[in-house]
A = this chain, B = another copy of it.
């Protein structure tokens, strides 16, 4: 039996611009939709390699930062700030910036940029859109953005207005200061693709 995975990109154009408030009233979709510059853009359906990296990466980061209550990494978390609603593949928030309900539980609505945003490129996805999303985060409170290209086995690390390239196996990927106990080489990152 053959399994097919279909990647779906949906962009809805409305006759009058949709406001962020209108967008937030719409039901959630799967994969999540983002609201960027008045447009709704649905994220691609994650494929196997994307899913593997996303899962391993969130686990590895939380293994270091969660128990000491430094920070927490979230999968597919909607973040609303700066007139957009974006859903990084992994969003890491430092402990004191994680919003809570009155009963101490993690809130459902995050009205801020993550401290660290991670995007894993999907085939056919517009890399420009993804880079613009990362730069939007960095204009707000995000300290560092990772863009991972599985096809090219390359990671770009964005800090402020700078971008650095990582494609040598022994290179260590820069992390935010609060996560300096977390170390990851390019070889470690793409090694997660192996069975």
Contacts and interface: CB of A to CB of B under 8 A. Distances in A.
16 contacts: A121-B128, A126-B149, A127-B127, A128-B149, A128-B154, A131-B163, A131-B165, A132-B152, A132-B154, A135-B163, A135-B165, A158-B163, A161-B163, A161-B164, A162-B162, A163-B163
A151 interface: yes
A189 to B, nearest CB: 14
Given A131-B165, A132-B154, 9 more contacts: A126-B151, A128-B149, A128-B154, A129-B152, A131-B156, A131-B163, A161-B164, A162-B162, A162-B163
A151 B125 CA distance: 12
Contacts of A154: 128, 132
A144 B128 CA distance: 19
Nearest to A158: B163
Interface string A134-171: 01000000000000010110101010011111010000
A121 B126 CA distance: 11
Contacts of A151: 126, 128
A138 B131 CA distance: 19
* Binding site secondary structure of chain A: mixed
Interface string A166-179: 01000000000000
Contacts of A132: 152, 154, 165, 167
A110 B167 CA distance: 27
A156 B135 CA distance: 11
A118 B163 CA distance: 18
Contact of A162 (B127, B131, B156, B161): B161
Contacts of A156: 128, 131
A156 B121 CA distance: 18
A5 B173 CA distance: 41
Interface string A5-20: 0000000000000000
